Amino acid sequence: TDLYDNPELFALLEELEFNTLLNRLLKKRETKSADSAKVPAQKVEASALKEPEEELAYDEENERGVLEIECEKVETTEQLREYLRECSAGAELAIALNIKGEHQLDLKLEGLALCAKPERSIYLDLSQSAAPQNEMIAEVKKMLESATNPKIFHGLKKAVQLFANIGIALKEIDSDVMLAAHLADPLARRYDLEYLLGRKLNLRRKTLASAEAAQKESQLSMFDEADIEDQNEYVQYCENASFILRLHRLLSEQLKQTGMEGAFRNIEIPLAGTLAKLEQSGIRLDVEVMSKIALEFEERLTELRQKIMELAGEEFNPNSIIELQNILYEKMRLHERYKVKPKKIKLGNRMSTDEESLEKIAEDELPRTILDYRTINKLKNTYVDQLPTYVHQASGCIHSTFRQTGTATGRLSSENPNLQNIPVRSSEGRRIRRAFISSGKENILVSADYSQIELRVVAHYSKDPTFMDAYRRNLDIHALTASAIYSVPEKEVTREMRSRAKEVNFGLIYRMGAERLSIVTKTSKVEAKGFIERYFEKYSTIHALQERFLEQARKEGFTETLFGRRRYLPDINGKGLLKRMAEGAAINTPIQGSAAEIIKLAMITVDR
């Protein structure tokens, strides 16, 4: 299959929200084929599923000019008090932070800019060399902990962490323009101030314009950006504060007009504070346990490598795809022995050795052993070896970063490290999970989760009588589905039937196709088609719900969650692959996005 014309691959990437990889493949596909679908422009606010790799932040042909603001560097506490007195009670105050450090526990405040009116900002130098630092910070603390003026930030979570490090508890938080921009345009590539300045305001910095003018005047081929930043540091932060205020006013109105203000103020803003504390608290990892697991895994890998060589009858590198292809398909001819047809890979038109292909010939001990080897090797390289490197020396904990702007559906994402994909299905994976421990002997870890949250959201939307009754009476929805798709009484449902029905439930609510369903249920394509037919015979209201989601998206140009988060779908009325992907998003977003919002509200409630 052509990598750049593979609907199954693209649908999977969309489902998993691997947006960067998806965008790259889509762009390559357009470059490769002049016959790519040409979709009429839709009058909707968000971008399409992709954006040009080198898109300019501002429109050069329709540039509104250079931002002109008055910048003042405040030297004394009295000057700061005077500025705050000039700000009327209730006036919104945009705050741009000069932060040193990257880790949540190591953030330090070097200075900040304040802006109550877009045309004027002040900057406070709070670095070690500034004086009177302690008195100035005391005044800043008083301002930030006061409810007199609503505060606006870009990157609220980081601001909460920064101020927590120096004993300041923020009050009267009004907005975070980064979160607002993500709600308004969840498919944008970036949400940094520089990008939003061009994308939303169509403006340029005065400091940047001045630097470019100086470059032209001196006829230099390039200018030293670091020097420019040093010379104009306080001016840049003053500009940032003005940008934040301008963006806030623009985006606030936009969220009101689109009905997303409730999701913004009731979910995203309070969640930023919850996540700030979550990240700073971190979670303790038993490094000694991980070291023991690493040694055991290495011993196990050595044993498996030796067994692989014995089964193959020769020495080879099990990590080499080409060498493995030669052993399995050229020497042993396992595909012929088990009468299977492994898929081909583009490189050399050779047969694949991926997990799916090896499963087809896993009756033989060699591919089965190779699968075991790969499982252990991946766990060791990805988790066992890597997780201890993220432990903070001072806290002894791992402090992951949870992003609110990482997915189009509104689900949280985790990075450095990703704590949302720690394995749980295998016994080895569960051992890794048990290495996460409470922070002290007197403490315990409590696991809290919603049971089948996405299926419950579907029950709410569809009002399906079987789903509704099952959840009201605490029945086993997967056993009920197994009974329907296998056409057997519920009491005759086996564990294997229920396991497959679970995959069917979670797959078909998102319109999974027969080919993909056959893979996840480990059945034939014919069996998978039968599952789909009997499923929608039983749950016709769910099929009707999917059609309703599609009809709304085609009519309105967007889909939305229970709490009003929108996802714009410019390609929903187009053609070809992009249309199919937009249709998938029209169904996925209300379910996944609503489930994410419910969990976010629970996190906020638990925190409070």
Average pLDDT over residues 68-88: 89
Which residues have a Cβ under 8 Å from the Cβ of 3 and sit 6 or more positions away? 9, 25, 346
Assign residue 564 a region (left: φ > 0; alpha: ψ between -120 and 50; beta: otherwise): left
Q: What percent of the chain has pLDDT over 70?
A: 84
Q: What is the pLDDT of residue 244?
A: 97
Q: Is the domain of 466 the same as that of 430? A: no
- Please give the residue that has the higher pLDDT: either 354 or 268: 268
How many whole angstroms separate alpha carbon 187 and alpha carbon 581? 14
Cis peptide before 118 (omega within 30 of 0): no
Say if residue 246 is in the same domain as residue 322. no
Contact (CB, 8 A) for 200 and 188: no
Residues 462 and 579 grouped into a single domain: yes
**Does pLDDT of 364 surpass 90?**
yes
More confident residue, 208 or 114: 114
Orientation angle between helical segments 19-32 and 7-16, nearest 10 degrees: 150
Comparing 44-48, 163-167, 224-228, the range with the smallest average pLDDT is: 44-48
In the prediction, which pLDDT does 38 show?
A: 39
- Confidence tier at 12 by pLDDT (50, 70, 90): low
Q: Report the pLDDT value the prediction gives residue 366, as an integer from 0 to 100.
A: 95
Which of 225, 258, 291 finishes a domain?
258
Find out whether 352 and 342 touch, Cβ atoms under 8 Å.
Answer: yes
For 481-507, what is each residue's pLDDT tens digit? 999 999 999 999 999 999 999 999 999
Is the pLDDT score of 75 beyond 80? Answer: yes
Amino acid letter, 388: P
Task: Please give the mean pLDDT across all residues of the chain.
Answer: 86
Higher-pLDDT residue of 205, 25: 205
Neighbours of 406 (CB within 10 A): 17
Q: Are residues 367 and 302 both part of a single domain?
A: yes
User: Do both 319 and 429 map to the same domain?
Assistant: yes
397 bridge partner residues:
284
Q: How far apart are CA 427 and CA 429, in angstroms?
A: 5
- The CATH code of the domain that includes 235 is 3.30.420.10
Task: Clarify whether residues 214 and 320 are in a common domain.
Answer: no
The pLDDT of residue 444 is above 60? yes
In a domain, 74, yes or no: yes
Which phi and psi angles does 436 have, rounded to 5°?
-85, 125
Nearest to 147 by CA among 183, 180, 173: 173
Average pLDDT estimate for 441-460: 93
- Tell me whether residue 391 is in a domain: yes
User: Please, is 283 exposed, middle or buried when counting C-beta atoms within 10 Å of its C-beta (0-12, 13-18, 19+)?
Assistant: middle
| 223 pLDDT tier (thresholds 50, 70, 90) | very low
- In a domain, residue 27? The reply is no
The predicted pLDDT at position 360 comes to: 85
Examine the pLDDT at 216 and tell me if it is beyond 50: no
Q: Residue 35: is its pLDDT beyond 70? A: no
Task: State yes or no: pLDDT of 342 exceeds 70.
Answer: yes
Residues 468 and 586 in one domain: yes
The residues with which 414 forms a beta bridge, in sequence order, are: 402
Quick check: is 277 in a domain? no
Indicate if 460 and 436 belong to the same structural domain: no
Band of residue 206 on the pLDDT scale cut at 50, 70, 90: confident
CATH of the domain at 436: 1.20.1060.10
Please say whether the beta carbons of 559 and 553 come within 8 A: yes
Same domain, 351 and 237: no
**Domain ends where: 223, 241, 258?**
258
Give the C-alpha separation, 289 to 539, whole Å: 47
- How many domains is the chain built from? 3
Q: Which residue range forms the structural domain that includes residue 115?
A: 65-258
Neighbours of 320 (CB within 10 A): 12
3-state SS of 452-518 is CHHHHHHHHHHCCHHHHHHHHCCCCHHHHHHHHHHCCCHHHCCHHHHHHHHHHHHHHCCCCCHHHHH
What the block records as the tokens of 602 is: 């629970």
pLDDT in tens, 378-395: 999 999 999 999 999 999
- Cα-Cα-Cα-Cα torsion 301, 307, 313, 314, nearest 10 degrees, comes to 20
Percentage, residues of the chain above pLDDT 90: 67
**Among 223, 258, 293, residue at a domain's last position:** 258
Does residue 528 sit within a domain? yes
Q: Specify if 187 maps to a domain.
A: yes
- Distance, in Å, from the CA atom of 351 to the CA atom of 593, rounded to the nearest integer, reads 39
Mean pLDDT over 53-67 rounds to 52
Residue 204 has pLDDT above 80, yes or no: no
Same domain, 439 and 552: no
Residue 556: inside a domain: yes
Q: At what angle do helices 576-607 and 453-462 cross, to 10 degrees?
A: 110
- Tell me whether residue 393 is in a domain: yes
pLDDT tens for each residue of 113-161: 999 999 999 999 988 766 566 888 899 999 999 988 899 999 999 999 9
Using DSSP's 3-state secondary structure scheme, residue 393 falls into: coil
Does 18 have pLDDT greater than 70? Answer: no
- The pLDDT confidence band at residue 62, using thresholds 50, 70 and 90, is low
Query: Predicted confidence band at 215 (pLDDT cuts at 50, 70, 90)?
Result: very low
pLDDT category at 14 given cuts 50, 70, 90 is low
- Residues 367-377 have a mean pLDDT of 95
Q: Tell me the average pLDDT across 443-460.
A: 93
- Please tell me the predicted confidence (pLDDT) of residue 16: 61
Query: In this structure, what are the phi and psi dihedrals at residue 537, rounded to the nearest 5 degrees?
Result: -70, -40
pLDDT of residue 350: 81
Residue 466: give its domain's CATH number: 1.10.150.20
Q: Which amino acid is at 502?
A: K
- Which 8-state DSSP code applies to residue 34? T
CB atoms within 10 A of CB 310: 12
* Residues 458, 576 within the same domain: yes
Whole-angstrom Cα distance, residue 112 to residue 233?
A: 11
Token pair for residue 445? 């870890």
Res. 20: pLDDT tops 80? no
Q: Are residues 162 and 227 in the same domain?
A: yes
d(CA 123, CA 232) in angstroms, rounded, equals 12
* Whether pLDDT at 52 is above 70: no
